[in-house]
Amino acid sequence: MRHKAWMSTIAYYVGLAALLTLPLHAGWLAWVPVILAIQLVGGLTISVGYHRLFCHGAYRASPFWHRLFAGLGVFFMYGSPLQWAVTHAAHHKHSDTDLDPHNKGARALLTKSYKNVPLELWRARRLLRTEKRLHQLVDGWYVPLWFGLFFTMLLISPTFVVMAYLPALGVAHLVGGLHNALSHDSNGARDLWFMELLAPAGGEWLHGTHHKKPGRYDLRTRWYHIDPGATVINWIRK
């Protein structure tokens, strides 16, 4: 397994550039709903797939959902499920210490790089037990899989790539950066449920609850909490 955060950093900056220059294109407003819809899928991919299924095994799902979320992770340039699970497990183990691989504050908005990333697969054993061939394939072929997907989209519809896909990447990775920047304070992980309205992340803004109970798939503890990821999980779990 190799850490490929450089691809997420490229997606972030290229996506932001595409987003900021979107108004320069004729008819750009018509693409805004498409961008937002793609971003919502991206948030659910991280929250429902990479986070609660792949990393924590908070619920069981059929092989179809493993394959779909792994494929969507390549689409959004989130890194392979194995890489993401190991990095996130290190975050839980070393949260709010110098060994935490996640960037905090303004740095989380400037780069997608991670520090102190453990490249061993100790935390990914659940994935290798459930869908071993799938996750080894995605991890080993992550870069060519993305390039193949990108050039296929480019051949089919360059307009979609420029007007929707790249801007949506920028938004998706910006939301991830905001989450890393704001979800911890001096007291540790915290719930910012209202941020789900401003920067949808599939329920990830209930971060304090998640750190208290990482194996829980429904993060809502108050009637007003917003966790669309839990709703989707109720539809797809075994």
Q: pLDDT band for position 163 (50/70/90)?
A: very high
**In 3D, which of 8, 5, 4, 2 has the Cα closest to residue 170?**
8
The DSSP output letter for 92 is H
| 3-class secondary structure, 84 | helix
Q: pLDDT band for position 120 (50/70/90)?
A: low
Q: Which burial class, exposed, middle or buried, applies to 79 when counting CB atoms under 10 A from its CB (0-12, 13-18, 19+)?
A: buried
Q: Which two tokens stand for residue 167?
A: 């801007």
What is the reported pLDDT for 91? 80
What is the reported pLDDT for 34? 97
pTM summary value: 0.91
Q: Which two tokens stand for residue 117?
A: 């990333």
**In 3D, which of 51, 56, 57, 116 has the Cα closest to residue 79?**
51
Contact 229, 205 (CB under 8 A): no
Question: What pLDDT, in 10s, does the model give residues 44-96?
Answer: 999 999 999 998 889 999 999 999 999 999 999 998 888 888 888 878 777 77
**Measured between alpha carbons, how far is 137 from 101 in angstroms, rounded to an integer?**
25
- DSSP for 113-156, please give it: --SS---S-GGGHHHHHHSHHHHHHHHHTHHHHHHHHHHHHHHH
